[in-house]
Amino acid sequence: MMDRPPYEYQSGEELTWFESWKPRNFWQETWWWIRHGLWNYVRDFPREVYWFCQRGMRGYSDRDTWGLDYHLARIIAEGTAQIKKYKSGHPADITEKQWDIILNEIIWTFEMATEILDNSVYYMKYVDWNKDDYERFNKTCEELKQKCPDGKFYAMTKEECKRYEDGWKLFQEYFFSLWD
């Protein structure tokens, strides 16, 4: 059990709490599901129905607002991908090829936003980006990968940070064109 949140641990020390999260074998997983998971599902079912009805009536649920940033980033990435897939037009001042590039950048930006919110990708503002912080984050990511090999941990390069920020600018610029 952690006695303090992960962000308060010193470099390397935060990895020790991962030890308690080691993968379990099939029988341990099955026993846990029978003992806890099934009952959690039964207990949560009425709430899930309630949240489902809220989404149908107002477009979002109370549960969605607990992590509205993540919820919106996921919705924008998936919605923009759908616009790209079934597009029937593009803004008048650009070509269809340019529109595809813009949509790809917006999709990439919001997919990265969900990964940043998942704490699997480390992002630094482009103007604040420096090699020392990047190397420190990269070292931490490598340590995390050793402790949790299934996880995706990495620090964004300076170019990726610039691309991410440019994607936000494109989203702002073409916000009123995101319809099909």
Any domain includes 116: yes
Which range among 104-118, 134-148, 157-171 shows the weakest confidence by mean pLDDT? 134-148
Instruction: Give the model's pLDDT for residue 2.
Output: 47
Q: Enter the pTM of the model.
A: 0.74
Q: Do 146 and 78 have their domain in common?
A: yes
Q: Which domain holds residue 84?
A: 67-180
Instruction: Give the model's pLDDT for residue 136.
Output: 87
Mean pLDDT taken over the chain: 85
Q: Do 164 and 144 have their domain in common?
A: yes
Phi, psi of 16, deg, nearest 5: -65, -30
Tens-digit pLDDT profile for residues 126-143: 888 888 888 888 888 888
Q: Do 179 and 92 have their domain in common?
A: yes
Highest mean pLDDT of the ranges 10-19, 60-69, 144-153 = 60-69
Q: Do 62 and 72 have their domain in common?
A: no
Taking the C-alpha atoms of residue 111 and residue 70, their distance in angstroms, rounded to an integer, is 10
Q: Do 54 and 87 have their domain in common?
A: no
Residue type for position 176? F
pLDDT band at 78 (very low <50, low <70, confident <90, very high): very high
Any domain includes 147: yes
Q: Do 175 and 98 have their domain in common?
A: yes
